[in-house]
Amino acid sequence: MKYLALVTRASNKGEGGVLTLTSLAHNVAPLHLKKGILFLGMLAAGFFFGEA
């Protein structure tokens, strides 16, 4: 439930969701974690669209 609240409240100038959360995390992450964050964001988006 906490994950759902975090994902739906993530906002990037009015846009929200998994891709926005990934973008925000990617922007502030250290260099060595950026690829992992991008991978996890793409995986989460794939699960989201696969379920729809």
Q: Is the pTM of this model over 0.75?
A: no
Structure tokens at 42: 């793409």
pLDDT band at 37 (very low <50, low <70, confident <90, very high): very high
Three-state secondary structure string covering 5-49: HHHHHCCECCECCHHHHHHHHHHHCCHHHHHHHHHHHHHHHHHHH
pLDDT band at 21 (very low <50, low <70, confident <90, very high): confident
The arithmetic mean of pLDDT across residues 12-16, rounded, is: 66
| Confidence (pLDDT) at 4 | 66
| Confidence (pLDDT) at 33 | 92
The arithmetic mean of pLDDT across residues 19-25, rounded, is: 83
Distance CA 30, CA 21 (A): 16
